[in-house]
């Protein structure tokens, strides 16, 4: 079996034969030549080759030979030959070739574990000449985050005298027959230091409802290693610095996040120049899972995550976006920024605040959307719809603001210019505002300008969002038998219909 032989992998670094000085304008090549102790070596070519003959060496398929493949090379027409077709190094540029070293399987297809010997050298006509600082090139051989060897400038050698020998250096490359040994060849044009690696971080959003895990991904160019930490600030880490190697995402589990607290990912990257500065994510708040009813009362002002929030008025509807709990116990308005349709069942996060008597989910973030759920309107007489005769946000029992409600009554007033009408079921409420033509009895209804207005003095059933219109009085008025002076503020109950189909005439 091949595993009984000493397996040699020969790494050859050379430059184009027409120049002994490695400058950024030269074409230069890196040869990976695996051997199994006998026979003709197979060849893979890295570096910058620009002609069809660049790096064309003899090749042969040898049963059981050790192999090195390179993920960053394009396959050519030659069965065992690949080459890099990218441009030569530019000043300050780094190139990284990801190499994978392993031993071919046995003839019967079984794995073939063994120890690989790695030899690397620079031929005498391929000196890395750093006499010219503007054209200096450094080449490093890496294994993950470990520096295996750095080729010294202004040195050369022959086939018999390698620059690097894994046996001499005491480095061990044991191949288990399954997992390839990952290597990297890093070439740096050293005329200037590489810029500080710029890391971009993406986390789960503004909020998380899970209190035991956080997830993030990141990226940075020309990176050899990433490290991350998590904390409430750079000096208060709940997860100390960890390396992910070249992995660009992770999920940190086993956490004990505090509701309402903001947590940040800190990520830094290492390139051939060294470690860059750590970058801070935009933060993610541990939101409290709760019902809409509790968010409106107990947890006002706190970050919450609401599930079973059924859309009763869509983003494009006249009242804007509103959602109601599936059991119709409570509802709220969702601030602009979320696109949703009627009956969408949302899991949504944000901070609830009361704005002029209307519960509003501010800074909303949609976490998920499930199959539609139909929430029918709550049938209410005019008095129940109002539930605030003083129009001062003083409610008896259930606060109806936000609910999708159906009420009914005779049209007692209509203003087609303001797109407002009143309906009265006989309770004769009077909000003190009325229409341009004068006060009206009943509940105020506002409809979109695109809808056909109702017919005055006819009976209608009206469905819409029960909301509020805040009015500062410019003249004295009487509302539900109570006098109000100039400058006073009234919170007028309003039904805001979604479209013209929300009011239906029920008499002849």
- For residues 151-165, one letter each, b for 16 or more C-beta atoms within 10 angstroms of the residue's C-beta and e for the rest, the string is bebeebbeeeebbbb
- The pLDDT score that the predictor gives to residue 122 is 62
pLDDT of residue 345: 95
Say which residue, 42 or 164, is predicted with more confidence: 164
SS3 390: coil
* Mean local confidence (pLDDT), 131-160: 71
The percent of residues in the chain predicted with pLDDT above 90, rounded, is 55
Give pLDDT, residue 128. 56
Compute the distance between CA of residue 422 and CA of residue 227 in angstroms, rounded to an integer.
64
pLDDT at 303 over 90: yes
- Over 60: is that where the pLDDT of 194 sits? no
State how far the Cα of 108 lies from the Cα of 128, in Å rounded to an integer. Answer: 44
pLDDT tops 90 at residue 27: no
- Least confident interval from 60-74, 113-127, 411-425, 445-459: 60-74
Q: What is the pLDDT of residues 398-449, one digit of tens each?
A: 899 999 999 999 999 999 999 999 999 999 999 999 998 889 999 999 999 9
Hey, what are 312's tokens?
């009763």
What mean pLDDT, rounded, does the chain reach? 80
Query: Contact, 457 vs 410, CB < 8 A?
Result: yes
Specify the DSSP class assigned to residue 39.
S
Q: What is the mean pLDDT of residues 173-193?
A: 74
What pLDDT, on a 0 to 100 scale, did the predictor assign at position 100?
72
Long-range contacts of 149-153 (CB under 8 A, 24+ apart): 149/120, 151/13, 151/120, 151/122, 152/128, 153/128, 153/129
Query: Closest Cα to residue 71, out of 84, 59, 58?
Result: 84
- The pair of three-digit structure tokens given for residue 229, joined into one six-digit string: 């930490």
d(CA 164, CA 122): 10
Secondary structure (DSSP) of 412-462? EEEETTTTEEEEESSS----S--BTTB---SEEEE--TTSPPPPTTSEEEE
Residues 6+ apart with CB under 8 A from 98: 70, 71, 72, 182, 183, 184
Interatomic CA distance for residues 369 and 104, integer angstroms: 49
* pLDDT surpasses 90 at 22: no
> For residue 86, what are the contacts with CB-CB under 8 A and spacing of at least 6?
48, 95
pLDDT tens per residue across span 440-491:
999 999 999 999 999 999 999 999 999 999 999 999 999 999 999 999 999 9
Alpha carbon dihedral 441, 442, 443, 444, in 10-degree steps, equals: -30
pTM, two decimal places: 0.63
pLDDT the model gives residue 275? 84
Mean pLDDT of 199-219: 93
More confident site: 475 or 191 = 475
| pLDDT given at position 426 | 96
Most confident of 8-12, 120-124, 450-454: 450-454
Q: Give the pLDDT of residue 200.
A: 93
Q: Count H helices, E strands: the chain?
A: 3, 37
Categorize the per-residue pLDDT at 221 as very low, low, confident or very high, splitting at 50, 70 and 90: confident
* pLDDT for the residue numbered 64: 38
**For residue 49, pLDDT beyond 60:** no
Which range has the worst mean pLDDT, 182-191, 203-212, 214-223, 279-288?
182-191
Residue 39's pLDDT is what? 37
Rounded CA separation 420/414 (Å): 6
Mean pLDDT across 1-19: 32
Averaged pLDDT for residues 74-86: 47
Tell me the mean pLDDT in the region 93-119. 75
pLDDT of residue 403: 97
Strands (E), 206-317: 207-208, 214-219, 225-233, 236-245, 249-252, 262-270, 279-280, 284-286, 288-290, 303-313
Backbone angles phi and psi of 382, in degrees to 5 = -55, -40
The H or E element spanning position 292 is: helix 292-297
Give dist(CA 194, CA 92) in Å, integer.
6
276 neighbors 193 (Cβ within 8 angstroms): no
Q: Mean pLDDT throughout 219-235?
A: 92
Cβ atoms of residues 65 and 86 within 8 Å: no
The per-residue pLDDT for 463 is: 98
* Burial environment of residue 430 by CB neighbours within 10 A (0 to 12, 13 to 18, 19 or more): buried
- Give me the DSSP letters along 162-221: -SEEHHHHT--EEE-SSSPEEEEEEEEETTSPPPPP--EEEES-SEE--SS-EEEEEE-T
User: Which helix (H) or strand (E) is 296 found in, with range?
Assistant: helix 292-297
- Cα atoms found within 13 Å of the Cα of residue 238, Cβ hemisphere only: 20
Three-class SS state of 354: strand
pLDDT for 133 equals 52
Token digits for 362?
């501010």
Lowest mean pLDDT among 104-118, 298-312, 347-361, 447-461: 104-118
Quick: pLDDT tens for 333-373: 999 999 999 999 999 999 999 999 999 999 999 999 988 88
Q: Are residues 181 and 116 in contact, defined by beta-carbon separation less than 8 angstroms?
A: yes
pLDDT at 390 over 60: yes
CA distances in angstroms from 300 to 335, 352, 353, listed in the order given: 15, 5, 6
């Amino acid at each position: 079996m091949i595993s009984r032989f000493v397996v040699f992998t020969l790494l050859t670094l050379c430059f184009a034969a027409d120049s002994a000085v490695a400058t950024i304008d030269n074409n230069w090549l890196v040869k990976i030549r695996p051997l199994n102790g006998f026979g003709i070596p197979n060849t893979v070519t890295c570096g910058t080759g620009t002609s069809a003959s660049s790096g064309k060496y003899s090749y042969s398929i040898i049963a059981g030979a050790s192999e090195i493949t390179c993920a960053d090379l394009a396959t050519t027409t030659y069965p065992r030959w690949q080459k890099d077709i990218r441009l030569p190094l530019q000043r300050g540029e780094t190139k990284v070739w990801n190499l994978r070293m392993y031993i071919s399987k046995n003839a019967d297809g079984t794995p073939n574990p063994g120890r690989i010997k790695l030899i690397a050298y620079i031929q005498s006509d391929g000196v890395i000449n750093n006499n010219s600082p503007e054209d200096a090139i450094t080449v490093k051989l890496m294994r993950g985050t470990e520096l295996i060897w750095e080729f010294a400038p202004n040195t050369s050698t022959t086939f018999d005298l390698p620059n690097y020998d894994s046996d001499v250096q005491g480095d061990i490359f044991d191949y288990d027959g399954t997992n390839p040994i990952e290597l990297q060849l890093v070439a740096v044009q050293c005329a200037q230091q590489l810029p500080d690696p710029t890391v971009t971080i993406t986390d789960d959003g503004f909020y998380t409802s899970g209190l035991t895990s956080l997830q993030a991904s990141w990226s940075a160019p020309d990176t050899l290693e990433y490290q991350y930490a998590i904390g409430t600030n750079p000096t208060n880490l709940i997860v100390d610095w960890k390396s992910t190697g070249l992995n660009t995402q992770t999920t940190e589990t086993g956490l004990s996040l505090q509701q309402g607290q903001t947590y940040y990912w800190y990520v830094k990257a290492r390139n051939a120049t060294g470690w860059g500065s750590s970058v801070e994510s935009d933060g993610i708040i541990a939101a409290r899972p709760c019902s809409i009813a509790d968010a409106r009362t107990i947890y006002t002002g706190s970050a919450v995550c609401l599930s079973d929030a059924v859309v009763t008025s869509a983003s494009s509807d006249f009242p804007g976006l509103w959602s109601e709990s599936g059991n119709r116990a409570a509802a709220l308005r969702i601030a602009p920024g979320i696109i949703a349709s009627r009956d969408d069942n949302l899991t949504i996060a944000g901070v609830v605040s009361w704005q002029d008597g209307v519960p509003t989910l501010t800074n909303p973030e949609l976490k998920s959307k499930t199959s539609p759920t139909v929430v029918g309107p709550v049938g209410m007489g005019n008095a129940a719809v109002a539930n605030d005769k003083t129009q001062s946000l003083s409610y008896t029992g259930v606060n109806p603001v936000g609910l999708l409600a159906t009420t009914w009554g005779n049209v007692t007033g209509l203003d087609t210019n303001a797109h407002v009408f009143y309906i009265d079921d006989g309770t004769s409420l009077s909000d003190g505002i009325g229409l341009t033509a004068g006060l009206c009895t009943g509940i105020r209804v506002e409809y979109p300008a695109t809808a056909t207005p109702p017919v005055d003095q006819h009976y209608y059933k009206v469905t819409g969002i029960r909301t509020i219109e805040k009015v500062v009085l410019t003249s004295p008025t009487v509302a539900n038998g109570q006098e109000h002076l100039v400058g006073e503020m009234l919170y007028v109950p309003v039904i805001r219909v979604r479209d013209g189909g929300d009011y239906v005439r029920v008499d002849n």
